[in-house]
Structure 1
Amino acid sequence: MTELLTLDRINVDIPIGGGFMKPATLLQAVNDVSLTVSTGETLALVGESGSGKSTLGYVVAGLRKQTSGTVTFKSGRGGESDHTPVQVIFQDPFSALDPRMVVGEIVAEPLRLKGVPSEKRQARAVEVLGQVGLPPEAARRYPHQFSGGQRQRIAIARALIAEPEMIVADEPLSALDVSIQSQVLNLLDDIKKQHGISYLFISHDLGVVRHLADRVAVLYLGRLMEVAASEDVFQTPSHPYTQALLAAVPRIGRGRRKKEELLRGEIPSPLAPPSGCVFHTRCPKAQDLCKAERPALLPAPGRPTQLSACHFKD
């Protein structure tokens, strides 16, 4: 597959506080992250809250500027200017939709910004709403007249109308009832197959990730812990943090979890990340080397395509 997106050593530092004669403290939200996403691929970003997933997604979408590093997008459309390469689906489908606008206007907004005539963009809005399973009359109604699942479909339609090559999906299911999540998940999967769209899929739900993702990148305190094919991550996780995340997934009939599998303590503050391996304060394998030296992201033993940043990787 052709590489569509390349992130090269992305860093995002967010200034906190500061004022007159007092410098701001820098929060290291993303630290030295390098990743690629291929055409038609779904790369999932997983990790606990505060791991930098959404911040990295916003950098890809152009909603936040990185402090350093480069974002390279290689369009497969030969430089067409009528299409927006990246669109976003936000976590909360209600706050992401303007309550003062009817749905047709909301969905067609990307086309209005491109100067597309009103009649043409409204026709296109109805067409895209149909692709996400909503009737033509939905275009004349307001967001509050729809359920949470329907509002998320509207948000998906708005992302699709600009014909993007990639969609950044930031926890798109977390605000929905469990009964609706599977419908939206299947819709995202169908869109990928029909349109060849790539996803940067941000989620803490590993069950959803296993169903949708081709590859998984595990973040902890803004740093990559593991990057591998989805099958490898779920069957033979290499990094102790990945193993702990998988051990925390609710399970039935598989016996009690081993004590050493569970995460200890709380995630440290990104204002003062631990030295060496940032995970060493909670890691059951941690030794003095882990406190002193940051591990490189290197292949796991016997698995050249499964990268893990651990001195004592499995």
Structure 2
Amino acid sequence: MKKTNKKGRGPQKEVQAFLSDITLLSSIPINKKFSKQAVPEYPFDEQLLSLSSIYRTSRKLFLKQGGSFVPRVCSTMRSLSSPDLFQSELQFSPLASEMTWFKDHWQEVYDPEVLVSAMTAFNQISLYHEQNHRILWNLLPRAPEEQRDFCRYLNFAESLVITLDLILGDQIGKKYSDIFERLKSIYRPAGADAWSLKSSEQYRQYLLAVMYVSYLALELVHHEDIPKALDYVLPGQKKINKDAVERGLELSELFTLNTNLQWQKRYWKQAQEQLFLYHKNSKEDVHYLPEDPLDFEEEFVIAQRVLNYFLDEKS
């Protein structure tokens, strides 16, 4: 006999929160002119394409360089255990239809908490974040060979991808970005500050500051030393720097102290070899990040180039 949920039973707290989240995101108006870029069965992809120009730009650039998507159940641990940040094929768990069905039929599920837990566990990969890693390699100069130099290079690349995550959160806005972040469609929500609403020049300065703070966090600089370092390399913008430190240090310490370090320790050599092949035809010189992060200079030029590439591209 088929087991069904008891009639009239209300959802438990975690189920209620999940239902509330997916119901609100499902209500976001979809702009059909962007639907051609949508990835079938990737949850709320059309909504994100409709809300954010940088999300559309990232998708466009990724597809333009030959990127593709494969619907295949993918856990966070399997994703993190892969050394390949350069493969143009991205996997994701195809859960859009399942979430839509659950929203309307959760009372027919005997244990809705179990299904919510499963959907949450296998919907942890942000395609936007992963796309940007692949796009970025085309924009960066060649990488060094020695382990410590190469890991600094990786941390710089990660700080740029994190900055792009923040832009996406800002464009989506507070109403929806916290929910998208809870569902792991994006990794960072909108900021509490209002720099994204200021002039383009001020926002760029803020983004450069947040990028630098993120890099220092990844390099495991003591948090109490970061404000002074930021004021030294980007002087004359105290208010921007104060807000940038607060937002930059929202980066998960589980990631900076564990995940990132363990991944680099385990896979740096494979990644270095793959990136060497990726850049074998590059005419740019090898880029060595300074041992002392107070000597950041050319890195801000590279970061501006990346921001221009993403923000100036018509989507």
Task: Indicate whether the TM-score tops 0.5.
Answer: no
Q: Whose helix proportion is higher, 1 or 2? A: 2
TM-score (norm 2): 0.26
TM-score (norm 1): 0.26
Q: Whose strand proportion is higher, 1 or 2? A: 1
